[in-house]
Structure formats: C-alpha cells, structure tokens
Chain A
Amino acid sequence: MPEMTLIEAIRLAMDEELARDPNVFIVGEDVGQRGGVFRATMGLFDKYGAARVIDSPLAEASIVGVGIGAALYGMKPICEIQFADFIHPAFNQIINEAAKMCYRSGGEWPVPMVIRAPYGGGIGGGLYHSQSVEALFSHTPGLKVVIPSNPYDAKGLLKSAVRDPNPVLFLEPKKGYRLIKGEVPADEYTIPLGEAKVSREGTDVSVYAYGMMHYYTLQAAEKVASEGIHAEVVDLRTLYPVDRETILASARKTGKALIVHEDNLTGGYGAEIAATIADAAFTDLDAPVKRLAGPDVPAVPFSHPMQDWFMLNPEKIAAAIRELARY
C-alpha cells in the first residue's frame, strides 16, 4: 500500500472522481494551470482539460453560487475556496442557498456539491491565512461539514462527499497537507459521512478532536501513555451531522471528556460536544467536561512568538489530558 501525504490523498480522490463521473468538475481560483496554490489539483488540468478544471474569477461568492447553479442542472461541482479565511463572501450562498434549497423547495431542488477549503494556523499565515471556520458552518441543517485528519480518511471521505446528494463543506487542515502521511490504498473505497472513529482505545480519558488537532492529540496520547494515562481518542471526522452515539459511548466508557480544537473557545464547536455529553452521559461522568481551544482573540497573529502562543500543540494537549486524568 503506497504511503502518501494528506494533500496527495485529496488529489487522488478528486482524480478518481473526475475519471469516474463526467459530471464532476473542479472550479476555483488558480485550480487550473497552476494546480492550486497548495497544488491540490496539480496535474488535473492537463489530464482533464480546461472545461473540467475551471479557473474562476477572483470572487468567492461566485465560486459557490455558480457551483450551486451547475449542481441544480445535474453537475457535481467541487468548488475550491483558496483559504477558509476567504469563504466569508460566500457565506450567503452556502448558508442561505446551498444549505436551505432542498428544504425550501420541498425536496424539488437538492444541491449536490462539495466546497473544499484549507483551514487552520501554524503556518505563518497571520490573521487571514489561518482561520478555523468550522463553528460558523456547523450550525446549519442542510449542510454537511467534514474534516479529515489523515490521508486514508481524506481520500475516502472526499469521494463520499462528491457522491453525496447534499452540499458538503470539506475543510482540510492545511498545516497537515505535507506533514501528515499515511498508507492509502490505490483501490476504490469510500468512508461514510456522519461516522466518528475511535482512533486510539483507552480507559482513562476520552479526547475528542478533528483535523490537525487530532494529529496532535494522537501524539499527546502517546506521551501520556508512558506515564500510565490511557487516553481514548475520538476522531469526529464529520462535524455536522455529528455521530452522537460514538461520542457518548466513549464518554460513558472513560467517564472523562476533553474536547480539543484550534478555533476560539467561546461558541466553538467543542461547546456542542460538551453539551451533548453533559446532557446524555451526565451520570457516567467522573469529572467536568473540559475544553482545550484557541484563545478568544480575533485570529492567529503572524509573528512566531504570538502564533505559537495561539496554537495548540501536543505538549499543551498532553498537559490538559494529565490534568483531567488527575481529577
């Protein structure tokens, strides 16, 4: 089984889906000849041509809005937003149009489309190339929100997203694009949306994470294991609709829950998981539900000391696990 990086797995998924279905096409800024600023679509323009890998005008609302129109006509657009920080001009099209159209048309006009966007900090990107936007979108019935944490899942989840009959926001941890490697079968496979995964079994503390923070959480779990703390790690994978059963089963098993995300704490995605656990697993808990998240400042600063202060890392996560385990 070949080993590949996260971004190679994402590219492979798109390559396979373009080959499988003539209605699939890619649209976004610099996705064509340039192959994307992160090179996610590298080689696809040469392989499939300008009509299937389309360089768009520099206007994010239009990338999504045009994608919606094409989807309504029977196409399967994969819209790329260059950085999640630039998705906000398309917020109206995603929230008011793509997410609501199936419902508001009584099921007459479902919108099968994928919106890909690299998210997250730690790459020297400052306020506008580092944002985590998942909480803004995981409040929206009609939309699915997916975040892969490793190459195997990325390929399987993205292929499912392309085949899904609904709008799917596929957020990619950009810091992990070339950092996270793993084995990816060349064979056809998909991973269902809506299923979390216990990525490490444990008995003492349940740690919930996704994307880049899941990668760090596995490292943190390894660190504390040598100290005798057995953390169970749950990779959420799909944030909306979320897999409540897997989340609750783990919390009931360990009795302690820690949610880790890079996005700001207040109103962040972790609040929903914390509420779910507190609501349905309260009597199984041995400690308060804890959250470890980014600080409540507007976004990640550029200069390294400030960036490092903002960002979580395996050491900070390990410290939070130890503290909760001691409770």
Chain B
Amino acid sequence: MSLENETLLDMYWTMLLARRTDERAWTLHRQGKIAFHISGIGQEAAQIGAAFALRRGYDWIAPYYRDLALMLALGLTPLEFMLGVMGKKGEPSSGARQMPSHFGLRRANVLSHSAPVATQSLHAAGVGLAIKLKGEDKVVLTTIGEGSTSQGEWYEAVNWAAVHKLPVVFLVENNSYAISEGQDKQMAVPSSADKACGLGLPGVTIGGTDLVKVFETISEAVTRARSGGGPSVIEARAYRLTPHSSDDDDRTYRSREEVETHKKSDPLLVAQAFLASNKMATKAQLDELETKASEAVEQAVKDAIAAPYPLAEEALHPVYAEEVQHA
C-alpha cells in the first residue's frame, strides 16, 4: 500500500502535534501545574504508522498509556488530553477518575485500559472473538511495551488469537526500557516478535522510527486479519527518549550519552528529513505546521486551565451500569 503526499503530511502533522502536546505536559509538570505525566516521546512514528493502517472509526483499538500520538490520530483532541492531565471535568477517557494517559474513547472504538500491564491484550482477543462470531470484517489493534510481553496475560492473549485465528494485530512498541530494566532483563530472544513463532503466528520486527515501514507492515497485518488470515505480532523498535514518567529519574540507570545518541534518530527528525529529502514539504510548510501545533497546544492548555474540576460527589458513580445516567 503506498502513501499519498497528503497522507504523509497528515501523519507528520499528527506526530508533531503529539510531540508538542507531550512536551507541554512535561513543562506543566515541571512548573508544578500538573501532578503527573507519562510520555510517548520517541514512539510517535510507530503509533502513527499503526493508526493510519486502520480504518479509523470502524476498527477497534486496545491501547496502552504511551499512546498519545495514536490517540490523537484516532480523534482525541489536545484539549481532551490536557483536561486529563489536569484532572478536569469532561475528560473523555474516565471522567478524570483515572491517572492521565489511561486512555479510552468510546466514540472511536478505543477500549478503556488500566495500569496493570497486558490486561488489555486479552480484551483485544475478546473483541476479536466477538468480531469473528458476528461474522464482521473489523480488525483490532492492541499495543503494549516490550517489558509487558513478559506477562502471562500477553502470551495467553496471543495464544488465544492464534488458536482461534482472530483478527487481532499485536503491536509491541519496544522503547528499550521497562522503567529501568533493559530488554535483556525481559526476554532471552532478540525481539518480542520472535515469541510469535512459538505460538504459531507471524512475528515481524521493524524499525519503529520509520513511519512508512511501520505503516506498510501493519497494513499487511491488518489486511491479513481482515480477510480471515488471523493475527500477527509486530515489534516496532524505538527508544524512550524521556524518563518512564514524571516521577522517574532515568539518570539512575542510563547515561546521558546513551540518550543523546538516540536523540539523533528521533522519529520526528527522521520524518522531517524524509519529507524534505523527498521534496514532499518545504521548510516554509514545516514551519507553518510548527506554528499551528504550538497554537493548538497553547489553546488547549488555556481552555483546560479554565475548565472546571469535577464535583466531589461525582466520585460516587457509576459503579454499576444502572447508574450511568447519574454519572
């Protein structure tokens, strides 16, 4: 599947918007204006390549907490994200009940996820089972970090999908760290995708900073899943350019030199270079997008600051589905 110029620019725009939104959240945290942020910086190409391989609004997604770029591609707005980091009313993932970046967006078929990792993988398999039982041609994308593929529930989900030939794409965003632990502390294989061969489904490892490669690989997996060919595991290799979260200090476990080295292959810079070298965007166009992104993020921050907090008593509901109308 080839990409039109316009689509590539749209992909780049979403990456850029995610990056500037993410960076702004770090600043807000360092200014003491928000309590917590968990970042997706360095993983935007993997997420955007995946998002654009889907039929957005039709296919289903079970994401994890670093998927800001993926979520923006699926229709989450910067304002909605900022409402989340500030714990403000109207935050669509959880009504500000969950910590920031614990995504969910019913209107875009995005399941709610929690903090215990790999639980969402099984939900994706379940959605895949339901799609198959109903005889539909939708596909489920579920994402996860490489550390979380150590969880039994991830293996169980991949095994289920393989046994029942379910339309699920398991995308592993390998960002090289599970908080402080490198990949060598998580697995004895070179890639989490290698685990797929033991479970009887295709496993592919690709560079996660290459937008086009990610798009093409996931498109192939999506096409196979949609046509009844079953699930795939794809590992997109990237690098977590920030600490694990705003509460982490990554100087305790990795050198500044290492991080600086990886900044040279920052997926946003890679994408800019790609657009420039293929003459798909002029410097003026890229500058214009920068301005647009900054304005969008600043407006979102301004609107989120002005937005009200939830009422304390909103914490009472909805424990059960019968209470949803009171929520």
Contact = CB atoms under 8 A, between A and B. Distances in A.
B248 to A, nearest CB: 23
Interface stretch (B44-52, B121-129, B185-193, B271-279): B121-129
Interface stretch (B26-34, B75-83, B106-114): B106-114
B243 interface: no
Interface in A87-146: 89, 92-93, 96-97, 100-110, 112, 141-142, 144
A72 B126 contact: yes
Given A70-B129, A107-B327, A109-B106, A65 B114 contact: no
A27 B124 CA distance: 16
Interface in B272-327: 317-324, 327
A65 B95 contact: no
Contacts of B62: 69
A176 interface: no
A104 B127 contact: no
A190 interface: no
Given A75-B130, A142-B320, A104 B112 contact: yes
A74 interface: yes
Nearest to B98: A104
A51 interface: yes
Interface string A155-166: 000000000011
A107 B318 contact: yes
A108 B104 contact: yes
B60 interface: yes
A65 B122 contact: yes
Contact of B114 (A61, A66, A96, A102): A96
B134 to A, nearest CB: 8
Q: Taking each of A51, A70, A77, which has the highest tally of chain B beta carbons within 10 Å of its own beta carbon?
A: A70
A166 B319 CA distance: 9
8 contacts: A65-B153, A68-B123, A69-B111, A70-B127, A72-B123, A92-B116, A100-B114, A107-B327
A96 B126 contact: no
Contact of A62 (B60, B157, B327): B157
A165 B321 contact: yes
B119 A109 contact: no
Contacts of A287: none
Contacts of B156: 57, 59, 61-62, 65
Contacts of B1: none
A25 interface: yes
Given A59-B159, A93-B119, 5 more contacts: A66-B129, A66-B160, A71-B126, A107-B317, A107-B323
A93 B122 contact: yes
Nearest to B162: A57
A72 to B, nearest CB: 6
Contact of B95 (A100, A106, A110, A166): A106
B106 A108 contact: yes
Contacts of B323: 107
Contacts of B124: 69
Contact of B123 (A65, A100, A102): A65
A106 B157 contact: no
B240 to A, nearest CB: 25
A327 interface: no
B97 interface: yes
A61 B153 contact: yes
A202 to B, nearest CB: 33
B320 A102 contact: yes
Contact of B327 (A25, A52, A59, A106): A106
A193 to B, nearest CB: 10
B291 to A, nearest CB: 34
Contacts of A73: 60, 126-127, 130-131, 134
